[in-house]
Amino acid sequence: MEIIVDENIKLELTSEKYATSLYNVIDNNREHLSEFLPWIENMQCVEDFRNYLQNCEHLYKENKEVSFIILLNENPVGRIGLHHLNLQNKIGSIGYWIDKNSEGQGIITKSCIELINYGFQKINLNRIEIKASVRNIKSQAIPIKLKFKKEGVLRQAEFVNNEFIDLFIYSMLKNEWLTNNDR
């Protein structure tokens, strides 16, 4: 499955065929990514990342997540997905990361728009959340730009770099998205 974002960006369903190239992105961005992503330190070789991607594929088959490789001009530059899917309550949570050299080009914002549309229209979610570290200004900018509601702070909700960090939680409801967005 693919989602075309624009003429240069597409989202391709997570597949281990990108293990080596995406591992290289992680390895080249280790310091940048590990500031806010707790799993980076566990990715010490391509095989570690291949196992991670296989787990993502397994979660997709179980309807627990749907995740994508972000391709910029056919080159993998990051990942995005709807995680922690709760189809009973029609809720999902967006997570994303991108190569430092690809930041500031609107790739994550555009990809989020398409993923939100997919979540509300194809999976029939009613609520989509985005969580961002209170220290991660760049990650917070995405839900703010997309007019998500900031609901509050999840205190010490994630363990990163040997410390508990607080997360802002943002949400968008299906009727708000459809009413307030011409997408």
pLDDT band at 138 (very low <50, low <70, confident <90, very high): confident
Q: Is 124 exposed, middle or buried (0-12, 13-18, 19+ CB in 10 A)?
A: exposed
pLDDT tens by residue, 21-55: 999 988 888 887 777 777 778 788 889 889 989 99
CATH number of the domain located at residue range(s) 2-128 in this protein: 3.40.630.30
pLDDT at 181: 64
Q: Where are the domains of the chain?
A: 2-128
pLDDT tens by residue, 147-178: 999 999 999 988 888 889 899 999 999 999 98
Could you tell me which residues are beta bridge partners of residue 67? 81
Q: What is the pTM of this model?
A: 0.89
